[in-house]
Amino acid sequence: MAIVQFPLQLVERRMIAPTVGHYVFQRNDGQPLAFIAGQFLQIHFDYADGTATRRSYSIANVQAVDAPAETTVEIAVSYVPGGAATALFEALDMGDTVQASGPFGRFTLQPSDANARYVLVATGTGVTPYRAMLPALAALIDTRAVEVVLLQGARTLGDLLYHDEFRAFADAHPGFRYLPCLSRGLPDDAHPDLRHGYVQQALPEIAPDPAREIAYLCGNPDMVDATFEALKNAGLGPAQIRREKYISSR
């Protein structure tokens, strides 16, 4: 069956890290985009030789729970040297249009979850699904006192995407613990919750407990594999660990 495509028109772009752009598109075929936080879109384009291809991008919209579907779509695009989609995104001007399809994916919070804590782990743009989940997480913290810990990996403070938003959310919601992990060292006046090292290295501090957790892992495939192994070794079963690997879909 042919995948239904729709046009997305660029209405806003800003850099949120040295090589990551936050893009806001308007779906301009008159339809809203209904999605569940954690899902992704696909962007369709052609290589220089005319061959059709596509790449996936997680939806970053922070949309209130039960709000009507929006017509704007936000994504974060990490620029990969020599990347085909990277070239497309870098060349986009305001008002330009790309073709998209979706939403797709099951990397979402499940209404049947009865866990005591969510452990969310991300590197790079892999944190985008968790940004979209914030309103739903706020509701779960309120209604069933679920705890949430977010381990966000980046090289430096300047590479931590949506850092201020996650910090503000953690300050407003005591049930949400935000632990950014910087692989290249900490700044002099580091916030007490900043950690030095990879996200996997912060796992012992949060003491993963098979009786309490559901974990979400998103981003760099090596990080996802290493964290999966570490959580398995801590006793979590595969059904307690949900994964989204950011690989090129060629």
Q: Interface with ligand FAD by CB under 6 A: which residues?
A: 40, 55-58, 75-78, 80, 82-86, 125, 128, 244, 246-250
The encoded tokens of residue 163 equal 């850092």
Which residues neighbour 133 within 8 Å (Cβ) at sequence distance 6 or greater? 37, 38, 108, 109, 120
Residue pair 21/77 in contact by the 8 Å Cβ criterion? yes
Q: Between residues 40 and 176, which has the closer beta carbon with respect to ligand FAD?
A: 40
The encoded tokens of residue 105 equal 């994916």
The encoded tokens of residue 213 equal 């957790």
Nearest approach in angstroms of CB 134 to ligand FAD is: 16
Q: Between residues 141 and 162, which has the closer beta carbon with respect to ligand FAD?
A: 162
Q: Between residues 74 and 147, which has the closer beta carbon with respect to ligand FAD?
A: 74
Q: Between residues 107 and 169, which has the closer beta carbon with respect to ligand FAD?
A: 107
Nearest approach in angstroms of CB 24 to ligand FAD is: 14
Q: Are strands 6-17 and 97-104 parallel, antiparallel or unpaired?
A: antiparallel
Q: Between residues 56 and 200, which has the closer beta carbon with respect to ligand FAD?
A: 56
Q: Are strands 213-219 and 195-196 parallel, antiparallel or unpaired?
A: unpaired
Residue pair 8/25 in contact by the 8 Å Cβ criterion? yes
User: Which residue from 61, 121, 125 is spatially nearest to 89, judged by alpha carbons?
Assistant: 125
The three-class DSSP label of residue 105 is: coil
Distance CA 79, CA 166 (A): 22
Q: Between residues 56 and 63, which has the closer beta carbon with respect to ligand FAD?
A: 56
Residue pair 241/217 in contact by the 8 Å Cβ criterion? yes
Q: Which residue lies nearest ligand FAD, judged by its C-beta?
A: 83
Nearest approach in angstroms of CB 44 to ligand FAD is: 12
